[in-house]
Structure 1
Amino acid sequence: MAKYTTFLALLFCLILVAATEMQMAEAKYCWKKSHKWHGPCQYSYKCIKHCKHWFGAKYGICKKFKWGYKHYWANYACYCYSSCHY
């Protein structure tokens, strides 16, 4: 009976350690401005399709990259987000 209890206690500790290790492994995303995107970025859904097609990125978004430019949408470019590789 003592061996069975010890086995269950060790199994529980192993599961507890494995569960905490899995929670610590979070996906981090790195962004990069798309060099294949031409013109201003007006719609993020087009940027998402572009990033997935050309770079295999998780998603894309239109972000401001210039300040003080005359036209509102000319300030935005397509940025692709994918998993970081360290």
Structure 2
Amino acid sequence: MKSSVVFFCVIAALLLLRAPTSVEAATCNPTELTPCAAAILKSSPPSSLCCSKLKSQAPCFCQYQKNPSLSRYISGGRKVAAACGVPVPSC
């Protein structure tokens, strides 16, 4: 049993060493935030799917804020992001 734990640790270490070190750029698509609509517009608690989508779209927040058709949702979006623990950048 001890040898299987050591083997697992060695395999895990090798996988971590081979993991890519660069971060992929997010694909900015505001429709990905559709699961957050109720939380943003109605001030309801965000779902786990909403929080997941916010995390994946976080690198796009500044771009969304500059878009006049999306910027009106920023204040509600900040509250939802805070509830999800997603940091909102200063743009």
TM-score band by shorter chain is under 0.3
Higher RCO (Cα < 8 Å, 6 or more apart): 1
Greater helix content:
2
Greater strand content:
1
TM-score normalized with structure 2 length:
0.26
TM-score normalized with structure 1 length:
0.27
